[in-house]
Amino acid sequence: MAPLDKEEGTRIEVTDGALLPTRGDGRIIDSWRITIAFAILALLSLLFIAKDPYDQIFKVVIKGAPLTFGVTAGAILGSIILGLFTGLGQIARGRVLNLIAGVYVELIRGIPLLVQLIFIYFALGKFFHLDGFPAAVIALSICYGAYMGEIFRAGIQAIPQGQMEAALALGMTRGQAMRLIILPQTMKIIIPAIGNEFIAMLKDSSLVSVIALRDILRRGREHVSRTFLSLETYAVVALVYLVITLVLSKLVANMEDRMNQNER
Amino acid sequence: MSDKKTMVDIRGAEKDFGIVMALKGVDLTVTEGEVVLIIGPSGSGKSTLLRSINRLEALTGGQIFVDGDPLVGPDADIRKIREETGMVFQDFNLFPHKTALENISLAPMKVKGKSAEEAKSIAMKLLERVGLGDRGDSYPGQLSGGQKQRVAIARALAMEPKVMLFDEPTSALDPEMVKEVLDVMLDLAREGMTMMVVSHEMGFARAAADRVVFMDEGEIVEIAPPDVIFEHPKEERTKKFLKHIL
């Protein structure tokens, strides 16, 4: 039986992204703060105390950030759409739809992301003339769509059965009930999980550097090949990813907090 | 009674859940304007019977007619039957992401194709009727249990049903809120709504029910007017059950 007045919404989590800061423990020192302080201090001391060659490296590497964000944002949109259909396919009452969605998820989960990316990129290139950017967005969308599908499936199944029954009892079709009643509630509870996926995808988007897209990592690699400053360069690259990821994970956690406060 | 038309006609209803036979061939006829209370121990099949009438549970045998329309078979139009039967659930099942007003106006718009203004004015009238005219903009989470259940009743009424099904409408409520819901149901009964109510509210039964149906182990054991069944039950099983709850 569903709890009637939930203090807190159902929370769907995947453990793929950065650790979401624990909410509301109220202590000054927590793991998130230690890590972000370390990352920012390290980056600042490299840039302003050690300076050369780090300031130069940073200027080069950060130029890849818009592309990293762009690919991630595009792919999160693509994977949400794909994930929605996959999740619906998984729970649909038609056996064929279940199988199509199921096989897609199995396929994707069974192949390493890097292998999928390269394969999809070259497979797409064989049949269509796609630029690196759309190809990377499509490839990442296909890969993450499977995981997103699982999030949607779990989110839909987390909505109490009574919601569907009430909608059907009012004479709605299953489609109307899904669209008007179930999915809006699902979206709300899976937003943190989607935020998490965004962070995970932002990191995984570094894999697109192998397919000639000049993201943060690619800029770093190019810089290394010019200057042979491999340790210095990759240290900056790692710190840039770390700061971005930590900030985003805090944003997601805050968003989740706000949502729980608004919980009616 | 004989000149009144039959609203719900249950014939040999069977529901086999695999492990248990929840309904073992139930026959029951409810006439227009009649209020029937269904009582029985948990697992007796009373909720299953109610939920079969709008096919939230699919029968495994038998047939049900709602205002003459069959529920099972090639001619069955389940959406029409669901439009004509309002249902009120134990857990309210209000839509938490919609206001009270939107909860009520949604189905008239989406199912009956009414305009937004028309649906809204229907919803406002119904909210006033259940005593919540000032709570239209509240979300379910901001309402008490009793208020939620009254909104749920208004939501079902917005479809102008011919029959109202109540599945333990007061069981999830705190005692002090039971009365406000029962009062709304009493009003409905007085206005001549055909009602089937799964509930153990004896006060409501005495005040409003035309007949009380006692079910046990998937069968109807006894049917009688409330004072008869409560004061002089015929069957041994009915006596035993009533001793527990009275």
Query: Which pLDDT score, from 0 to 100, does residue A21 have?
Result: 61
Quote the CA–CA distance of A114 and B189 in Å, as a whole number: 67
Closest residue on chain A to B142 (Cα): A264
Cβ neighbours of B105 (radius 10 Å)? 26
The answer to whether the Cβ–Cβ distance between A185 and B142 falls below 8 Å is: no
Quote the CA–CA distance of A101 and A80 in Å, as a whole number: 14
Q: What is the DSSP letter of A17?
A: S
ipTM for this model: 0.94
The answer to whether the Cβ–Cβ distance between B110 and A172 falls below 8 Å is: yes
Spell out the per-residue pLDDT of chain A, length 264, in tens: 334 444 455 666 555 555 566 555 566 778 889 999 999 999 999 999 988 899 999 999 999 999 999 999 999 999 999 999 999 999 988 899 999 999 999 999 889 888 988 888 888 878 887 788 888 898 899 989 999 999 999 999 999 999 999 999 999 999 999 999 999 999 988 988 999 899 999 999 999 888 878 999 999 999 999 999 999 999 999 999 999 999 999 888 888 887 777 654
Higher pLDDT residue, A12 or B106? B106
Quote the CA–CA distance of A189 and A157 in Å, as a whole number: 11
Q: Hey, is the C-beta of A260 within 8 angstroms of any chain B C-beta?
A: no
Residue among B212, B149, B209 nearest B179 (CA): B149
The answer to whether the Cβ–Cβ distance between A168 and B97 falls below 8 Å is: no
Q: Which two tokens stand for residue A138?
A: 């499509």
B135 alpha carbon, distance to own chain's centre: 24
Asked if residue B66 lies in contact with residue B49, where contact means CB atoms within 8 angstroms, the answer is no
Query: Which pLDDT score, from 0 to 100, does residue A3 have?
Result: 41
- Write the DSSP assignment of A204-217 as a string of letters: HGGGGGGGT---HH
Asked if residue B148 lies in contact with residue B92, where contact means CB atoms within 8 angstroms, the answer is yes
- Write the DSSP assignment of A41-74 as a string of letters: HHHHIIIIII-TTHHHHHHHHHTTHHHHHHHHHH
Query: Which pLDDT score, from 0 to 100, does residue B161 have?
Result: 97
Taking only the tens place, the pLDDT of each residue in A108-151 is 988 988 898 888 888 887 888 778 888 889 889 998 999 999 99
Residues of chain B whose beta carbon is less than 8 angstroms from a beta carbon of chain A are: 54, 56, 79-80, 82-83, 85-87, 89, 91-97, 106-107, 110-112, 139-142, 145, 155-156, 159, 172
Asked if residue B157 lies in contact with residue B123, where contact means CB atoms within 8 angstroms, the answer is no
Query: Which pLDDT score, from 0 to 100, does residue A23 have?
Result: 56
Q: Exposed e or buried b for every residue in B51-68, given b needs 16+ CB within 10 A?
A: bbbbbbbebbebebbbbe
Strand positions, DSSP E, B81-231: 85-88, 163-167, 194-198, 211-216, 219-224
* Residue B78 neighbours by CB under 8 Å, 6+ apart: B54, B55, B71
Query: Which pLDDT score, from 0 to 100, does residue A188 have?
Result: 87
pTM: 0.84
Strand order in the sheet with B211-216: B85-88, B163-167, B194-198, B35-39, B211-216, B219-224
Cβ neighbours of A106 (radius 10 Å)? 11
Taking only the tens place, the pLDDT of each residue in B37-93 is 999 999 899 999 999 999 999 999 999 999 999 999 998 999 999 999 999 999 999
Taking only the tens place, the pLDDT of each residue in B128-187 is 999 999 999 999 999 999 999 999 999 999 999 999 999 999 999 999 999 999 999 999
Residue among B25, B18, B26, B28 nearest B163 (CA): B28
Task: Enumerate the residues of chain A whose CB falls inside 8 A of the CB of residue B89.
Answer: 162, 165-166
Residue B44: helix, strand or coil by DSSP?
A: coil
Percent of chain B exceeding pLDDT 90 equals 93
The answer for B71, left when phi > 0, alpha when psi is -120 to 50, beta otherwise, is alpha
Query: Which pLDDT score, from 0 to 100, does residue A2 have?
Result: 39
Task: Enumerate the residues of chain A whose CB falls inside 8 A of the CB of residue B156.
Answer: 169-170
Mutate to test the interface with B, among A93, A159, A170, A191 (most CBs of B within 10 A): A170
Asked if residue B99 lies in contact with residue B148, where contact means CB atoms within 8 angstroms, the answer is no
Residue B30: helix, strand or coil by DSSP?
A: strand
Taking only the tens place, the pLDDT of each residue in B5-20 is 999 999 999 999 988 8
Where is B94: in which H helix or E strand?
A: none
Quote the CA–CA distance of A140 and A202 in Å, as a whole number: 10
Task: Enumerate the residues of chain A whose CB falls inside 8 A of the CB of residue B91.
Answer: 1-2, 4, 160, 162
Q: How many residues does chain B have?
A: 246
Q: How many CB pairs under 8 A join A and B?
A: 69
Strand positions, DSSP E, chain A: none
Mean pLDDT of the region B107-131: 96
